[in-house]
Structure formats: C-alpha cells, structure tokens
Structure 1
Amino acid sequence: MPTAIAVTSADLVLPAPDRHTPGAAVLHPPGQLDLDGALAETSGLLERHGHLVAVVPPWLPAATVRRLHTVRAILETDRIALLPIDLPPLGTALLVRQLRQLTVCDFSPGVIASAARLLSHYIHAGALLGSVAKLDRIPVGLKAHARSWSPSAQFAVLAHPTPHLAKLGAQEGVLPPGPEFATHLTFARGQLASEWVAAELAPAWQVRGVLENPLPAGSAGYWGTPKLVEFAAGIPDLSVLYQLVASVRREQCRWCGLELIGDRCGFCSAPLAAPPPAAPASTARSRP
C-alpha cells in the first residue's frame, strides 16, 4: 500500500484528479475522538500503509496539534511525519492532493515527506476579501484598514508565495502576481457574492483549468472574515510533479536513515549534515 497522507479535517481533501490518486486519511481531532481512539486510528494506518505523512499548518487549533504530537510520542515510532507547512486552508488542501498523487510513484516515504516543502513553493494561494480589518496573515496598511469600513469594498489578497494586497477598483495594480508555469485554479466561495476569481483572475493567470470546491471550515478564521472567495493555483500534472521531485538530489538522513530531498528530514526533522569543508588548495610550488 502507498504511504498514507493525512489531514485533520475532511474538508481538506480535494477530489482526486484521476482514478489512480488515493484519498487522504482523516485524523479526528480531540473533540471527535478520545486519545485511545486516536492511537487505534493511527496504529491501523501504520499497519496498512507502513508510513504516515500528515500536513500540520500553523492555523490548526492548538489542541489538535498537541494530539498529533502526543500520539506520535506514545507510539514511539519514526514512521509518522508531521509537516509544518504554512499555507492557507485551500492551499493546504491543494498540497495534500499533490502529495496523494506522488504516493503512486516510486518515491520512498522519506522523499514524499520532504517533497512537501519543495512543492509548497509552487502554490499560489490567496483570497478575495470583503474586509481586511481582522486580517493578520499579511501586512495591512492603515489605508486598507480604513477602506474596509466601506460596505462594498473588496480586496485581492495573496498570502503565498509573496504577500500582496490591493483594493478592487483602485488605480494601482489589483491582480496578484501569478505563477509563471502551467497551473489549475481551485476556488471556494464564502459569504461574498463575486465572480472575480473565475472571471478575471483565472484568465489573467492563464490557468489551464478551474475547479470550484466547498470552502474549508478554517478559511474564515484564517482570513479574518467569512466574506471571501478563497483560491489556490498549483501544478496539476503528475508527470511534472514527478520531474520536480526526481530532479532533486536524494540524501540519507543521518538520524533515522530515511531518504530525503532538501535540507531537512520530513520524519525526524533532522537537518542534512553539512558537507565537510574543502581542503585548502596547496600554494606550494614543486621544485624542479
């Protein structure tokens, strides 16, 4: 069985792009399952899949994050990866789908876990907001705060990879900078009635497909308002995702022994050992 990819809420599981992509496991939070149940749930996943990779964004409730770490500590296993990836809710769901796609490839669990950081750099995630008065994820100037009091105000906000904020209808540039590679766009409507994301942003970003999805439960809290339309663009093709990951040099973790790409192990978080310093070049000249 392929490596299990896990989330803490079912609304972070986007529809599979094809019949080969597996679903994601949902690790139920403390309010839905007690500790004994969580241990049994996780143990069952490890028995069936061998390794478990869970994306843990910083906006999750603290009790949920503590539960994940507690379960891993009690089970005393190095086969659970808890990945601290900082993406908005819909961007997190998009990354989770990409990891699910990679599990059908010939990558080891360590490579899949450490690939999450690599793939997150290629995700453009933001939202159209009716107010930025309570937005604390990116810098918001006093002028934008003042404009939020207008009942008709709408703001185009990009949280990742580069923060961007602009008011729709203003003289300055409104469109967030888009990806310079082929993507599909996923969007989810909150309590904001607007077609701007599908009608204007998607054509401007030259996306190759648009998909609407239900809004994740954590989106209103992340963006500071329920009046929003959240969006995330990412690479849809498994062949491109495979080439991205396969092109990175693989190393062996000096702590747990798993394969990794990048500078840190996804399972034990140990940094890649620094290469030994190069020997100084000899300046002595050989005698004739």
Structure 2
Amino acid sequence: MYAKPIELSPAASLSVAARIMRLFSSLLFLLVCLAAAGAIHFWASLPNVANLADPQTSITISVRDWEGQEQPFSLGPQNPDWTPLEAFPEHLPWAVVVAEDGAFYKHHGIDLQALHEALIYDLQQQRMARGASTITQQLAKNLYLSREKTVLRKLREAVIAWRIENSLSKERILELYLNLVELGPMVHGITAGTRYHLDKPVTKLSSAESAFLAAILPGPRIAFNPRKRPERVAERAKKLLYFMQLRRVLEGPQYELATREVDIITGIAPRPVVQPAQHTPMNLLYEVGQRPPWQLPLATS
C-alpha cells in the first residue's frame, strides 16, 4: 500500500536547520579552540633566545659526531677556540655569507624568495630535498633542533629564527654561527676548522683560505669533504671568490691570486717553493708536491 511522504511543517524545517547550524557552530568553535591551544603550546615550547645576546654567555649544546653519537659542545667564551667576530680576517665572514646566505643582511631570519624556490623544487622532487635555510635558521637548528626533515621542524626553525633576529644583532648572529659551524669530525667553529684543515691561526687566513673553508660548509662529511672531493671544493671556492669580487671584498689582482691559491690549498696544484725574503700573498713555504696539512694521514694512537 502506498504511503504518502510525511511533510514537515515550516516550523519543524526551521528547527532542523537551526540544530544543524548549532552543531556546525559548535564544531567550528571546537576547532578554533584546539587550534588556539595548539598555537599556545607551540609558542610556549619555543626556547628563550634572549640570553644569546649577552657576549659573555656560554651555553652547552649537543652535537652529533661522525659516528652518530651525541657529544657536548660549549659555545661561548668558555670554549678556548671561541673567537669574537672582530678577530676574524675581514674576508672570512664575507666568504661565509656569500657561501651560505647571500641575503643575510637583507632578510629578517627567513629568505622568502629562497624559500619559494625551495618549495617548488621540493614539490618537483616529491620530497624535502632542498633546505633554503638562512644563516639564522641554521643557527636555530644547530642550537635547538634535530636534523629530521619534517614540516613541523622547519616551522619551529623558522619561528625560532625570527625570534633570534628580533633579539640579536646581525653581527652577534654571525659571530655565534662562525663559532659553531661544522668543518670536520668533532671540529666546530672556524678557528678549530682552520687549525684542522690548514694548521695555522685563524687570524692568518688568506682570502683563498677563507673561501676554501666556506666552500666546505654545506657538507663537510661527504659532499664537500676536501679529503675526498678536493676538486669539488676547489670549484666551489673559486665561485665564492668570484662573488666576493663582485661585492668588492676583493680587487682584481687579489681575486686572480686567490683563485690560483685555491688549487694549491686543495692539493690540485703543487705548492711553489718561495724564498722567505719574498713577501707575496702566495708566500707558502712548502716544497713542490708537498701535500697540504689536511691531506696528511691522521695520527693513530
């Protein structure tokens, strides 16, 4: 037997619509509350970076050695290798800025253009293949975060970098970065890296040697390890010298001499024999064919 559909009165229809709207509003309110709680928790979990502004501050952080073990590292004047920014040769900070973050003095912790390019590249590769991290972001990661490549970690890195930029001067950020960067197995900081790779004081670095050290920074373990890939390091160091010349950090003759010196530093070309009485930017007192200090075999105990 055919049953006629029940027709709701206008009042009943309005009642159903009102209940649906109330349910939708309640769900929306709940989502807003959850988002707000998550944001508050996220912000509260971020480290306090204000203490980094004090030049007398030393902090102990955890760094990972080349065997994957966590090791303590002191960043600050308590570390005997700590070097104030003004003690570095002028071309050294510029070599690092050119190598790692050409827009360092223009951005506020995040390079939006580089980030946009990295996002496009990552989408094309369907993985997080390109970091686009500024010097400030790298400092934030090395001080407070793990090496995992996740969206949440990158978000924390960006927010911490923004907080660092709002609490510290550019000079202080660069000073901390130069004393923390990895240049070898448990070799952190430019001063320790200079001793490890070149066996000399950091104050005696030439422009070519500065470019050499800066060229190692993206991957001292494998990609730009000068013991394993000297040609690749030399090629990158020469590119850095070229950009340093464009920024007028180097003049033409200095650039040409430094470019030739890079091949000697990396062992691609033999070291010339120069008499002590001669004083040139390439006054390197080594016998022809002698290997650079970093190419000598490591001492075994």
Greater per-residue helix proportion = 2
Give your verdict on TM over 0.5.
no
Larger radius of gyration: 2
Greater RCO (Cα-Cα under 8 Å, separation 6 or more): 1
Give TM-score scaled by structure 2 length.
Answer: 0.23
Give TM-score scaled by structure 1 length.
Answer: 0.24
Greater per-residue strand proportion = 1
